[in-house]
Structure 1
C-alpha cells in the first residue's frame, strides 16, 4: 500500500494551524488480479470453456484508508473499498434486489466491498457502515486461501454471506484473545447479529464465531456457527482445519455441515504450494454432498507481484443443488492468474 497524501500537508498548504491536523493521513491501496481459466463440463452438453476474468484467490479492488490521531488514545478511521472485474472494468458487488443484509443496488455500488467510519480506542475499535460479516474474515483464518474469489474453490463464503449494509461492528484485542461483535440494522435489507473470538499463542491460531442473518421480510433466519484454526508446523509449513454449520429456520429447513483442511508449504523462497480439500453435506432440503479439492502453485516475483496456477475438481452427489459454474455433476478446471498489489 502507498501513502497518497497526508492531511497535515494539505493543512499546511492551506495555512491551517498544523496542530489541528498534523496526525491525519490517507492511504491508497489495491489489488489487480486477472486470470485465464479453462474448465471442462462448463455447460450441460459437457463442453469446455476458456475465459478471462477476475482473480481466483483474491478479487480485484481499489480503496482508500484514513486515520486521524485524536489524542488520549483515540483515533478516527475510515475505509472505502471498491471491487471491479479487470477483464471488463465493471464494478462488482451490485445487488439487483434486497437479500441477506444488502439493499437493492441495480446500478451498482461505488464502494461495494466496504464503506465504513469508526473510532479506535484502548477499549477496542467500533466501525459503522457497509462491512464484512464476522464469519467472513474469521473463517478465512482457517483456510489455506482465505475465502477464495473463484466459486469453484470457495466453500464457506457461499453460506455465510460476505458483507452487509447498515452494520455496526466491534473488535477488541486483549492479550492473546480477540473479541468480535456485530449488529446489522434492518432498513429493508434484513437484520443480522454476530459474535466471535480468537486465540493466538505461538504457532497456534484458534477461531470461533456465531452469526444470524434475517431476510428482508424477517420470515427466515440463517444461523452460521464456525470453529477452526491453523498451526505453523515448521517455518514455511502451515496447516489449516475448519468446520461450519449452517442452520436455516423459517421458510426453509436447509442444513449444511462444511469442513475443510489445507496446507501451505514453501517449496522454495518464492514458490508456495497450496493443497486444500473441503466437503459440504446438505440435509433436510436437497440432501447430498459437494466435494471440492484443488492444488495451487504461487510464484512470488516480489512482495507485490505474483504468478499463480491452480487445478480444481468438484463432484456432486445426491440431490445437492448444482452451482452455476458447473455444467454437469463433475467439473474440472485450470486457472492461471497474475496479481499485483499496490
Structure 2
C-alpha cells in the first residue's frame, strides 16, 4: 500500500490558498488553511514531477486524496497543540533529574499549562541513545505519582504517558491518561497491541529502528523521508489490524532515533510526506542533537530557539502536536505563525 507516495509542494496560505483552490490550481491540505499547487509522484524509487495538481494522472488520484482528506483528531482538541515534556527520569538528555520528584514534576506541569501547554507528556524511562533499560515496575514508580497528582491538579488537561511497556500503559489509562506515546510504535511489548485494542485512548506511533541501545547501528537509508513514511505506514497497518481504530492513531517521525544529523535535516525538510498516512502528526524535535549540529550550541537547554524554528515546519498540517521542553517559546511561535499565515 505504501509503495506510492505523493509529496506536496508549492504551498499557499490564507486568502491566497482559498483563491487558488477556487480557481482549481491548488488543493486544500488536510486540516489547515494551507493549499498545495504541485506534487512529486513517488513510486518505489521512481519519481515524477514536480507537476501541477491538475495534471496528476487519474490512477494517482486515490493517493493524492490522502493529502486532502481531513485527519481525525485522535480524541484531542482541534488545532495545533503544544505538549509539555515532563521527564521523571534521572538520565534524560535534557532536564535530567529536574522532575524526578513527583512534587517537582506536578508543579512544573502546572506551570507549563499556565504558559500555554494544551497537554502534558509524562515519561519515566530515558530513550536517549544508549540509555539504561529499567523494569516496568520501576518506570511506574516514577510516573505513577506524577500522573495521579496531575490528574487531581489539572482534571481538564489531557495527559499522555511516554512508555513502551504495557504494564505502565494499563495503569496509566486506569488513572485517566488519554494518550499512549510509544517510541517503539507498539513493537517493543507484545502485550501493547491487544491491550490498546480494547481501549479508546489516542496512540502515538513513533518511527525507530532497533532500540535506544542499538538504533545508531540502523541509520542506513536510501531515501530517509520515504522510508520513514513507509515504515510508519506498516505500523499504522499493524495497529489497525490489531483492532485499534485509525482515527485514534497519531504518527511521530522520530527525529534523532536511528537517524544521523544529516538524515534528520532531510527528514525535516520533507516532513509533509507524512500527510500520506492520514494521521495526526506529533513533532518531538525539542533540543535534539540535530539542532545543536545546525546551531553549534552544545548545551541542550540552550536550544529552545532552534526548537521553535524546527517545530514550526509542522504547522502546515493544521493540527500538529508540538512536544517541547520550553512551552513559553513554542506557544509564542505558534501564535506568530498563525497571525502571519492564517489571518
- What TM-score results when the alignment is normalised by the length of structure 2? 0.30
More helix by share: 2
- What TM-score results when the alignment is normalised by the length of structure 1? 0.30
More strand by share: 1
